[in-house]
Amino acid sequence: MSVTGGGSFGTSERPNSNRAARLSWWWFPGSPRQPARNPPQTSSSSAKKPPPRPDPSLVMRLAETRAALEQARGQLEAAEQALLDAQEQNHLLSTKLEAARMAAIEQARGDAPPSLLQVFRDRGVWGEVEVRQLWTALDERGALRELLGAITVAQSADLLEWLNEHTAILGDCPQCPDVGNRAVLRVPRSRCEICAGSDIRRTGRKFVDGFLSRGFTRFTVVGGSPKYHRQLHELIKHHRIRLRTVPGGSRRSRRQARDDIRGSDLVVVWGGTQLSHSTSEQYTSQADEGQVLVVPHRGISGMLEAVTVAINAV
Ligand SMILES: [Zn+2]
């Protein structure tokens, strides 16, 4: 930078305005530029005097300051970059740590396949709130079906049992009983898992619920036609209930009847149906061996309703 070549500054051939324009680049950045046509004047009498020449030492200091500023700026940029690198490294290490933690957990679990929650965690989705957010976002994009289709379940029986315990599929039927705090899916009445749209199914379901809620599992019905028995088995089908039906006209010894009573949580003597007196008598005469209930109602619904009322009254 040539700072000493100011030989022409004092010449009178050039107008003041030109001189001011030539000098203006010496001024320190940030200082307000003087208007080219109105150079600073100390007084009206000095209007024709050239402005003072810049002090070369000042110019030198200015250049040094600029260089120092540039250097500082460079250092700042380097520091910012170093911070970004460190942050990225930190994130990388956190991810590796989480992956190592998950690997250790999976190793501890043996060969059991990871849960969906664990796979989500591997993906960087942590905690129930984040899982729910992502699930909703996937649903909004219409991607849930694909996701659910990609998942295979190792213990489907366990999962189904869990679903049975925590969910209910119900129709819009006000007479169907409450399902407690299970999650409810509303469907057309014909698909209601309690009544399937029919009163007799609802009655059967109420009986099953009442029976199991008393801690009963073994149920014996004495009397009724084979057709009734088939219907009964169909109605109160439940994996925990063992139903034994004794045809109304069958010959049952006293000992067999006693074993039936002792081996049941409840014996119903279904009096309104085909039932020979000799058969029913084997049970009613040994009622003190267990729980024996005589029900006079003829139809299945009436019988089950009467039994349910009796069970709930115990
Ligand atoms: Zn229903």
Digit-coded pLDDT (tens) for 207-233: 999 999 999 999 999 998 888 899 899
DSSP-based three-state secondary structure for 218 = strand
pLDDT at residue 85, as a whole number: 93
Overall average pLDDT of the 145-168 stretch: 91
Overall average pLDDT of the 90-100 stretch: 83
User: 263 near 289, Cβ under 8 Å?
Assistant: no
Q: What is the distance in A from the centroid of ligand 1 to the CA of 176?
A: 5
Asked if residue 198 has pLDDT above 50, the reply is yes
User: 90 near 104, Cβ under 8 Å?
Assistant: no
Helix or strand (DSSP H, E) at 170: strand 167-170
Helix or strand (DSSP H, E) at 308: helix 300-313
Q: What is the distance in A from the centroid of ligand 1 to the CA of 202?
A: 7
Q: How is domain 199-313 classified at the CATH fold level?
A: Rossmann fold (3.40.50)
Q: What is the distance in A from the centroid of ligand 1 to the CA of 169?
A: 9
Q: What is the distance in A from the centroid of ligand 1 to the CA of 306?
A: 20
Q: Is 266 left (phi over 0), alpha (psi -120 to 50) or beta?
A: beta
pLDDT at residue 189, as a whole number: 87
Q: What is the distance in A from the centroid of ligand 1 to the CA of 220?
A: 26
Q: How confident is the model at residue 52 (pLDDT cuts 50, 70, 90)?
A: confident
C-alpha span between 272 and 186 (Å, rounded)? 37
Q: What is the distance in A from the centroid of ligand 1 to the CA of 173?
A: 5
Between 253 and 195, the more confident residue is 253
Asked if residue 194 has pLDDT above 90, the reply is no
pTM: 0.48
DSSP secondary structure code for residue 101 in this structure: H
Q: What is the C-alpha end-to-end distance of the chain, expressed in Å?
A: 109
Q: What is the distance in A from the centroid of ligand 1 to the CA of 224?
A: 27
pLDDT at residue 109, as a whole number: 66
Give the mean pLDDT of the chain: 83
Give the length of the chain.
314
Q: What is the distance in A from the centroid of ligand 1 to the CA of 231?
A: 19
**Who surrounds ion ligand 1 at CB < 5 A?**
171, 173, 176, 192, 194-195
Between 158 and 37, the more confident residue is 158
Q: What is the distance in A from the centroid of ligand 1 to the CA of 15?
A: 104
How many C-beta atoms surround the C-beta of residue 214 within 10 A? 14
DSSP-based three-state secondary structure for 200 = helix
Question: How do 218-222 and 266-270 pair as beta strands?
Answer: parallel
Q: What is the distance in A from the centroid of ligand 1 to the CA of 267?
A: 28
Cα-Cα-Cα-Cα dihedral sign, residues 158, 162, 163, 165: positive
Q: What is the distance in A from the centroid of ligand 1 to the CA of 47?
A: 105
Q: What is the distance in A from the centroid of ligand 1 to the CA of 190?
A: 8
What is the number of alpha carbons within 13 Å of residue 93 lying toward its C-beta? 6
User: 283 near 259, Cβ under 8 Å?
Assistant: no
Q: What is the distance in A from the centroid of ligand 1 to the CA of 228?
A: 22
Q: What is the distance in A from the centroid of ligand 1 to the CA of 179?
A: 11
- Range list for CATH 3.40.50.2300 in the chain: 199-313
Q: What is the distance in A from the centroid of ligand 1 to the CA of 58?
A: 96
pLDDT at residue 199, as a whole number: 87
C-alpha span between 159 and 177 (Å, rounded)? 24
Give, in order, the Cα–Cα distances in Å from 134 to each of 92, 109, 121, 125, 128: 22, 26, 12, 8, 10
Q: What is the distance in A from the centroid of ligand 1 to the CA of 2?
A: 99
Q: What is the distance in A from the centroid of ligand 1 to the CA of 199?
A: 8
Q: How confident is the model at residue 48 (pLDDT cuts 50, 70, 90)?
A: low
Q: What is the distance in A from the centroid of ligand 1 to the CA of 191?
A: 8
Q: What is the pLDDT of residues 100-151, one digit of tens each?
A: 777 776 677 667 788 888 899 999 998 889 999 999 999 999 999 999 999 9
